[in-house]
């Protein structure tokens, strides 16, 4: 399937693996549900792709939900725009003055990359 822009491609030769963690000093979240698309400033397709792999460290302080951290951990047989995703991850850590730990990988029919936190510069994987 050909893709344009941020569209997600699915194929047996495509793969992304995530092992990322970020901690915060406690961010107040409006409502009881975190909207990943808005929180990470990513498009809907990327958000729906990684949502199943996200877990949150949070607590309730009176009527407020306080987010203490986010973990993205899992593997999928599809890919999305890694440049846009990396830019969003870097921007979040700059805004929140904290750092991601871990990595994510990207593999399609042509390329294999690993993106290490906190800078998420692409390192080419050679088989």
pLDDT in tens, the chain (127 residues): 344 444 455 566 899 999 999 998 888 887 767 889 999 999 999 999 999 999 999 888 777 888 899 999 999 999 999 999 999 999 999 998 999 999 999 999 999 999 999 999 999 987 6
CB of 93 closer than 8 Å to CB of 100? yes
Residue 22 lies in a domain: yes
Does 3 fall in a domain?
no
Token digits of residue 90: 């870097």
Domain count, the chain: 1
4 occurs within a structural domain: no
- Can you say whether residue 82 is alpha, beta or left, with left for phi > 0 and alpha for psi between -120 and 50 degrees? alpha
Domain containing residue 86: 10-124
3-state secondary structure of 88: helix
């Amino acid at each position: 399937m050909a893709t344009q822009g941020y569209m997600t491609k699915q194929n047996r030769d495509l793969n992304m693996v995530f092992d990322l963690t970020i901690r915060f000093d406690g961010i107040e979240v409006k409502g009881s549900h975190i909207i990943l698309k808005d929180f990470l400033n990513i498009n809907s397709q990327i958000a729906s792709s990684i949502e199943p792999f996200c877990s949150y460290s949070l607590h309730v302080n009176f009527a407020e939900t306080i987010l203490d951290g986010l973990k993205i951990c899992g593997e999928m047989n599809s890919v999305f725009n890694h440049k846009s995703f990396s830019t969003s991850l870097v921007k979040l850590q700059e805004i929140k003055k904290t750092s991601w730990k871990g990595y994510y990988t990207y593999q399609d029919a042509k390329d294999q990359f690993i993106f290490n936190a906190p800078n998420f510069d692409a390192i080419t994987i050679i088989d």
